[in-house]
Each structure stands twice: as structure tokens, then as C-alpha cells.
Homo-oligomer: A and B are copies of this chain.
Amino acid sequence: MTSRRPTANFSASPHTLPAVAPRPTLRDVATAAGVHPATASRALNEATRVLVRPATVERVREVAAALGYQVNPIARSLKTSRSETVGVLVPDLTNPLFPPIVRGIEDALAEAGYTALTANTDNDPARTASSFAVMQARQVDGFIIATALLDDPLVHEAAQRGVPMVLVNRQTEHLDASVVAGDDATGIARTIDHLVELGHRDIAHVAGPLTVSTGAVRLRAFRSAMQHHGLPDDRIVVADSYSEAAGRTAALELLAGQPPTAVVAGNDLLAIGCYDALEESGLRCPDDVSVVGFNDMPLVSRLRPPLTSVRVPQYELGVEAARLLLDRLSGRTPTARVVLLPVSLVVRGSTAPPSR
């Protein structure tokens, strides 16, 4: 019986170190254990283990351990056309909102033996589509999407094709897919409560882009909370992206007329833009105008003044999204669910009673 392994690699690079032992294959394990590869496969596989005699299972497992056998996920994927891998689409990892979410996703996936493939889309539909395609080619078992637009053809099409999928943070309308997000409406309501309690009546909203759900949902929540308090709900400017620059521009527009006594920003970056605009307009926060952010990003507690913001449990958002997807992949709970995680208002130095 001759070795079935070519030794050509020796001649290929004669000066390499002690000939890396090629990782053992299932066949090696089977041979060493004196069984057929098929039996070894069944013995090593949780689901099929019952098919083989316990004593044999034991023997195979021991041999596998001794040889340091690890299944080759590539070969398995080829056969099963599953990859234990999921695609994660985020707008931009560099935006402080997303790292905790991604981290949560990766931790939860790893626990189940899954791996995440991450791509940044920069909110560009073309990049999104191409990343999506690449990931599908790589046989990902499903997607976690943090880039969804309110009306997102890609997401709709994928959902219709039955691609397993969970949306996180942002939703898409009229979609039969699971979503995990913060309870934005309640967050905004608490914010308004807080401001009204301080005595504010003239409250404005710098909304995020209305093409994504967070922008639209928070805007709607702002309106209804204001109405609930019997206050005017029409002091609104929509920023065209979630960035400091867009926040500054929007806030300047707001401050052109009679400044409000408080501004509720669509997220923390917009809030920081408001800080800039206030400073440029010679107004002080919170003395002249209170500002509230959303997301409670790292370091916002250390701004001047420390930013009052709505804390969203980002890490948990990621964990929950991953769990939902895993459930879906394992066949349990095939039905779509919407999970809203509780948020909380963190009051800091950027909100104070109005001076007027």
C-alpha cells in the first residue's frame, strides 16, 4: 500500500521548514480507526451520530482527537451548500454606531460556530448590490442588514427570493422579514417629556434622512409626542445625511429665524453639528438652546457640554439580530418578527431649563 499523497511539495520549495504535516482528512481518521469514511463522518456528526454504534463513535472520536482532525468546512460546504457563514452589510464601520452592533453579531454567531463576512456599503446602492452578490457567491447562509432603506428594492427582492435575512437598526416598509431595532418612538417620547418637564415649549427637530427608517420613525415620533403635549410640531429641518456637516447645515437653517429653546437631533452626529451651528451663531448650549442626541455614542459624555442622548443597546441589537437569524437558519421560527429593544434617556449637561 503506497501513500496516496504526492511528495511534490518537497521539490517545489526545497528549503522550507520541516514539511508542514498536511492536516489529516476524514479518510485518515477512518483508516486509523479501521472504519469506512462514511462511518467516520456519521460518528463525528452530531445529527447522524445515532446511526452508529456507541463503541464505534467513541473510537472514531478518540482517533480524530489524537490526530487533531478538524473537518474541512470548504469540502463540507461544497457538499451541503451551506457555509455556516453570514453576510453583514453595514454603511460604514467607521461610524461609531456600528462597531458595537457588529461586535454583538460576531460574538453571537461565533457561539454557534458561525462566522461573519462584513462589508461596508457607504450607503451606495451599487456597492450594496455588489457586496450582496459577492457574498451570495460565497454561499453565505443568510444576511444581517444594517443598511436597509425605507424602500429598498434589493432587500425586497432578496426577501421575495426567500433569502434568510434579518434587518438591524433600520427597517424597510411592507417587508416580511425580521427586524431588530431600538424602540425609537419611546426614546423620542421620553426626550420630549424631559424637555417639557424642564419647561421647554419651543422645541425643534433636526431629522435624519427620511430615506431610512430611523429618520422617518423619529420624525413621526417627534410629531406625535409634541401633539401629545399640545405643542406645535412643525419646527422641523431634515438633514440629508447622518453627519456633523449635515447637522450643522440643518441647524443653521433652524437658527436663521427665532431660535427654538431646544433641539432634538436625529442622532449624535447631527447633535454635534448643532453644537457647531450654535457656536457659530453666538448661542450657548444649554444656556440658550438645549440639545439632545440619539444613540449615546462613545465619548459623547465627554463633549462640551456632555450630550444628553438616548442610549440604544447596540451590542444587544447585534446579538439579537444574530440569534434571530440563527433561529431562522435552523428551521425554528421561520416566521418574521419585529423586536424592539428598550432604550433609555441619559440626561447630561446639554439640556437645561429654557432661559426665555
A241 contacts B by Cβ under 8 Å: no
- A333 at the A/B interface (Cβ < 8 Å)? no
Residues of B within 8 A of A117 (CB): 115-117
B119–A138 CB distance below 8 A: no
The reply on A78 being an interface residue by CB < 8 A is yes
A35 proximity list for chain B (CB < 8 A): none
Which residues of chain B are within 8 angstroms of A227 by Cβ–Cβ distance?
none
Distance in angstroms between the alpha carbons of A98 and B110 in the assembled complex: 20
Interface string of A89-119 (1 = CB under 8 A from B): 0001110101110110011001000011111
In the complex, A139 has a CB within 8 A of chain B: yes
Q: Write the chain B residue with the least CB distance to A276.
A: B302
> Contacting A110 at CB < 8 Å: which of B100, B106, B119, B272?
B119
Which A residues contact B (CB, under 8 angstroms)? 16-17, 20, 70-75, 77-78, 83, 92-94, 96, 98-100, 102-103, 106-107, 110, 115-120, 133-134, 137-139, 160-162, 272, 275, 297-300, 302-304
List 20 A–B pairs whose Cβ atoms lie within 8 Å, in order of A's numbering: A17-B161, A70-B133, A71-B137, A72-B137, A73-B137, A73-B139, A92-B103, A93-B93, A93-B99, A93-B102, A93-B106, A96-B299, A106-B118, A106-B119, A116-B117, A116-B118, A298-B299, A299-B302, A302-B303, A303-B304
